[in-house]
Amino acid sequence: MSQPQPSRPHAPQGPGTGIEPEPPTAPNLDFAGSTPYEDYVRASVLTHLQEPLSDDPGEMVFLVTTQVMELWFTVIVHEWETASRALRDDDLPTAMAALKRSTYELESLNASWKPLAHLTPVQFNGFRAALGDGSGFQSAMYRRLEFLLGDKAASMLVPHQGTPQVHAELEKALHEPSLYDEALRYLGRLGHAVPQSVHDRDVSERYVPDPAVEEVWQAVYAGDQNSDACRLGEALTEVAELVWRWRNDHLVATRRAMGSKVGTGGSAGVAWLERRATKNVFPELWTARSHV
């Protein structure tokens, strides 16, 4: 039987040894067309979308930040639609994973306010006229996000009548159950006493809090803390809290930049944002806590 051979020590490499280490493999730098990264990410499209209308340097910050916000709206809508479909199929793990990812994305979205929140009134006024009648209130993707939260109104489609594809997407979203609708239907299938009137409601209308739904969440939170219903409730609460923080950060940024002046697009500005900031997302999840 052969005896094991003793291992040989590695020869030293590097300066002064006479033996240089093998150079690392160099990345491929020569492509016939555009780079694979560009083909996939479309970075040159993204970085050439900015067309400032003034000479004020703050406008570039405003443009890029709001475009980044639109991208975050897009991915959050994707996550909540994924979660809604999963709940419809009683696939809680997929729904929970999508909701969890969306909390990280909401945190990144909320951080987008920082560059805008530190514009002084004079700096904001340096390019404000370039916005004309433009307002974030007109964002179609943000409207889809709000629809998924249950904040619906057919009147919100009116600004998009001139863009048929966008209008059709919003109309479809208006008539689909919200994320909260799907969560309540899921609770009903788990055996919780969600009223039939809630299941049968017109999902194209704004969700209105229901005392019976509050009692359902009260029972969920008073029961097994590791139940599927309780875990779902906490995931939805985390989403709701971050949406509330988004609204408050929007309010603070606007108040710092323009005070109580009328907002762009003719909105009430700070006054309208203050009213929005008082509204709870998934309301019974918050009120039920007072009774547990």
166-186 per-position pLDDT tens digit: 999 999 999 999 999 999 999
Q: Is residue 256 part of a domain?
A: yes
- The domain in which residue 281 lies consists of 60-138+206-291
Question: Does the pLDDT value for residue 189 go beyond 60?
Answer: yes
Q: Is residue 21 part of a domain?
A: no
Q: Is residue 114 part of a domain?
A: yes
What's the rounded mean pLDDT across residues 115-129? 87
**250 assigned to a ligand binding site:** yes
pLDDT reported for residue 233: 98
Q: Is residue 146 part of a domain?
A: no
Distance CA 200, CA 241 (A): 27
208-223 confidence digits (pLDDT tens): 999 999 999 999 999 9
Q: Is residue 174 part of a domain?
A: no
What percent of the chain is modeled with pLDDT above 70?
Answer: 89
Q: Is residue 95 part of a domain?
A: yes
Confidence of residue 18 (pLDDT cuts 50, 70, 90): low
CATH number of the domain that residue 219 is part of: 1.20.58.480
pLDDT reported for residue 130: 83
Q: Is residue 14 part of a domain?
A: no
- Other C-beta atoms closer than 10 Å to the C-beta of 1 total 2
For 230-265, letters b (16+ CB in 10 Å) and e give bbbbbbbbebbbbbbbbbbbbbebbebbbeeeebbe
Confidence of residue 279 (pLDDT cuts 50, 70, 90): confident
pLDDT reported for residue 120: 86
pLDDT reported for residue 4: 54
Lowest mean pLDDT among 8-12, 73-77, 256-260: 8-12
Number of domains composing the chain:
1
Torsion of CA 133, 137, 138, 143, to 10 degrees: 180
Do residues 208 and 283 lie in contact, with contact meaning Cβ atoms separated by under 8 Å?
Answer: no
What's the rounded mean pLDDT across residues 151-167? 95
**264 assigned to a ligand binding site:** yes
Residue 49 carries which DSSP code? -
Lowest mean pLDDT among 227-231, 234-238, 261-265: 261-265
**201 assigned to a ligand binding site:** no
pLDDT reported for residue 40: 95
Per residue, what are the HEC states of 193-247? CCCHHHHCCCCCCCCCCCHHHHHHHHHHHHCCCCCHHHHHHHHHHHHHHHHHHHH
